[in-house]
Amino acid sequence: MLKAQRSIQATPHVPLRSPELEARHRESNIVIFGETGSGKSSFINRIAQHVLAKTSNDALGCTSTPERYPVEISGRKYVLIDTPGLNEGFAGTVPDAEAKKRLKNLLSELMSSRSDDIGLLVYCVRKETRPHAFVKAYDKVYSDICHQRVPIILIVEGWRNEQEMESWWIANGTQ
């Protein structure tokens, strides 16, 4: 009897899940979108620190449907969602109109779900892309679909052999 009491006393009280604990264990979705060849899949592999997403050096995209990659970073769970590339021609893996439709459907689905929301949007562009060319997609995704309720960051790819990275921002930051 004494042994049973000790084991009962040694067992800590486990409260029901608190909102803080629930938030820490829930996976946060990070949606990565942008033009074909802008480095979306490579960005996922860099964040994960190993190869998860298929990449290609082709002008044609290699992601045909939204792909989900669960990762853990600093003890928090995330799902990195790779999306088909925008602005790919009709001969590509996913024509532009279909890629836009798939992105809109994904974002609308995530925005309408209580348990499966979007924690961050990552918009990938190539450094050669002029701002006026991607502002339209930015506005559509950030304002129209996500109603400015989701944080968004811009990743400009293609700096590997550049000496001065600030020149892009100096030339394009005010447009």
- Kindly report, residue by residue over 92-145, the tens digit of the pLDDT: 678 888 999 999 999 999 988 765 589 999 999 888 877 777 788 888 898 888
168, pLDDT greater than 90? no
| pLDDT score of 33 | 94
Give whichever of 58-62, 70-74, 129-133 has the largest mean pLDDT. 70-74
51, pLDDT greater than 60? yes
| pLDDT score of 134 | 79
Asked whether residue 56 is domain-assigned, the answer is yes
Task: Look up the pTM and report it.
Answer: 0.76
| pLDDT score of 25 | 52
Helix (H, G, I), strand (E, B) or coil at 161: coil
Give residue for tokens 């800590």: 12
Burial class of residue 162 in the structure, from the number of CB atoms within 10 Å of its CB (0-12 exposed, 13-18 middle, 19+ buried) = exposed
Asked whether residue 169 is domain-assigned, the answer is no
44, pLDDT greater than 70? yes
Task: Tell me the residue range of the domain where 114 lies.
Answer: 16-159
Alpha carbon distance 137, 35 (integer Å): 10
Asked whether residue 29 is domain-assigned, the answer is yes
| pLDDT score of 22 | 52
Q: Are 172 and 165 in contact (CB under 8 A)?
A: no
The answer for residues whose C-beta is within 8 angstroms of residue 137's C-beta and 6 or more apart is: 33, 34, 86, 123
Assign residue 146 the CATH number of its domain. 3.40.50.300
Q: Are 130 and 137 in contact (CB under 8 A)?
A: no
Alpha carbon distance 77, 75 (integer Å): 7
Alpha carbon distance 142, 52 (integer Å): 26
Asked whether residue 3 is domain-assigned, the answer is no
Give residue for tokens 């994904």: 106
Asked whether residue 166 is domain-assigned, the answer is no
Token pair recorded at residue 13: 């009280």
Q: What average pLDDT does the chain have?
A: 78
